[in-house]
Amino acid sequence: MSELSSIPLMDLAAQHEPLRDSIRAAVDRVLDTQQFIMGPEVEQLETELAAYLEVEHVIGVSSGTDALLVALMALQLEPGDEVITSPFTFFATAGSIHRAGATAVFVDIRPDTFNIDIEQVEAAITPRTRAIMPVHIFGQCADMRGLEKIAKKHELRVIEDAAQAIGARHHGVRAGRLGDLGCFSFHPTKNLGAGGDAGLVTSQDGALAERVRLLRKHGAEQKYHHQLVGGNFRLDAIQAAILRAKLPALDGWNAARRQHAARYDELLAGWPIVTPRIREDNESVFQQYTVRIDGDDGGPQRRDALRAKLADLGVGSNIYYPTPLHLQPCFAHLGNVAGSLPEAERAAHSVLSLPVHPALGIEGVDEVVRRLRIALDSVD
Ligand SMILES: *Cc1c(COP(=O)(O)O)cnc(C)c1O
């Protein structure tokens, strides 16, 4: 198989190449001024991202994880308060609920979109429920219209974990303005990646945005006078400058991801694997192109065998996520048991994310599919 070129799950170097000069210039600009903490680069990035996301308030922060944490801190939760969320997500979603002093209440996902099943949300609401934190998994928004109705009825806040969904739309509205607060990650592997850790909080609510802004710098409007106990959640000026250099490329990258996804959909139709379902009211940005490889026994063996075979054939893939959060050892005290959230558990056993990155090209998709055919034939 040594003649087969490798097709990695992502190729950040290829995406960097055409932007190399503008990114270097951006970093030099910061180095020349020596203004590393906040300042004009951060402010200008915030202005540009507010325009891009079509949202009123944006607050640059230190990571996607910190975006979630500081957004939850802004809700001033108390011990025993509950936040409803999805178990099928990156750890930070529920980790930040715990760190904000509240309790994560997991609601199962829909098997077709992998997003939280809003039909099951109301049954999880108790007198202690304060907020719902949906995750726009793999770049497709959760059913925010439905969640908004539930939140209004029960007077709950909604925080979007939009870490994977920058640029996505739901009923034409951008992720990040679909709830009370929106949280984004600029981790280098996300659709818009910084040169390290960075994140963003968005809001249409001026009072909430103001609280996030305060919490970002230790709760002090005026230095050394602290109204709230916040943290150091500031965005680095170097990261802001790099993000400003990359932002103009984002729509093109997202469009390329969508084209790649459409090509997969076309080529994989009728195959014994399930392709992603994007709802009519959603425009996904395909942070991942995630297929489902169900095994006869409900276990992960068939999927894992296919993944190993793909690796032999030079195709990178990954499992997002192998263990749902309700079954993580650190949340054992919440009392969730195996079998309690069957769709999240089934997804963990069957999902496989294939290369969909912007530098892949249609030829790249065709080549992945050719090798996927060989891999499937060898495992079935
Ligand atoms: C990446 C990610 C985060 C965390 O973002 P970081 O910038 O890595 O801290 C949170 N939630 C989801 C769904 C993510 O994919």
The pLDDT of residue 350: 97
- Residue 273 structural domain: 250-379
Answer yes or no: do 233 and 260 share one domain: no
What are the pLDDT digits (tens) for 315-371? 999 999 999 999 999 999 999 999 999 999 999 999 999 999 999 999 999 999 999
The pLDDT of residue 1: 45
Q: How confident is the model at residue 215 (pLDDT cuts 50, 70, 90)?
A: very high
Taking the centre of ligand 1 as the mean of its atom positions, its distance from the CA of residue 211, in whole angstroms, is 22
Answer yes or no: do 229 and 242 share one domain: yes
Answer yes or no: do 127 and 38 share one domain: yes
Answer yes or no: do 174 and 287 share one domain: no
- The DSSP bridge partners found for residue 222 are 225
Taking the centre of ligand 1 as the mean of its atom positions, its distance from the CA of residue 89, in whole angstroms, is 9
Tell me whether residue 88 is in a domain: yes
Answer yes or no: do 235 and 322 share one domain: no
Share of the chain above pLDDT 90, in %: 96
Q: What is the CA radius of gyration of the chain?
A: 21
Q: Is 63 in the pocket of ligand 1 (CB under 6 A)?
A: yes
Treating both helix axes as pointing N-terminal to C-terminal, what angle do 20-33 and 237-246 enclose, rounded to 10 degrees? Answer: 150
Q: Tell me phi and psi for residue 3, to 5 degrees.
A: -75, -15
Tell me whether residue 4 is in a domain: no
What are the pLDDT digits (tens) for 48-92? 999 999 999 999 999 999 999 999 999 999 999 999 999 999 999
Answer yes or no: do 290 and 220 share one domain: no
Tell me whether residue 61 is in a domain: yes
CATH number for 64: 3.40.640.10
Ligand 1 atom with the shortest distance to the CA of 68: 10
Q: Is 325 in the pocket of ligand 1 (CB under 6 A)?
A: no
Give me the number of domains the chain comprises. Answer: 2
CATH number for 267: 3.90.1150.10
Written as one string, the DSSP assignment of 147-169 is: HHHHHHHHT-EEEEE-TT-TT-E
Sign (positive or negative) of CA dihedral 288, 183, 198, 40 = positive
The pLDDT of residue 295: 83
What are the pLDDT digits (tens) for 152-202? 999 999 999 999 999 999 999 999 999 999 999 999 999 999 999 999 999
User: Mean pLDDT lowest for which of 276-280, 294-298, 300-304?
Assistant: 294-298
Mean pLDDT, rounded, of the chain: 97
Strand 289-292 relative to strand 157-161: parallel, antiparallel, unpaired?
unpaired
Give the mutation target among 10, 63, 65 for probing the ligand 1 site: most ligand atoms within 8 A of CB. 65
Give the mutation target among 90, 99, 137 for probing the ligand 1 site: most ligand atoms within 8 A of CB. 90
Answer yes or no: do 317 and 287 share one domain: yes
* Whole-prediction pTM: 0.97
If we measure between CA atoms, which residue out of 103, 112, 201 comes closest to residue 161? 201
Give the mutation target among 62, 72, 93, 189 for probing the ligand 1 site: most ligand atoms within 8 A of CB. 93
pLDDT above 50: residue 272: yes
Tell me whether residue 163 is in a domain: yes
Answer yes or no: do 234 and 264 share one domain: no
Answer yes or no: do 228 and 257 share one domain: no
Taking the centre of ligand 1 as the mean of its atom positions, its distance from the CA of residue 142, in whole angstroms, is 16
Answer yes or no: do 242 and 260 share one domain: no
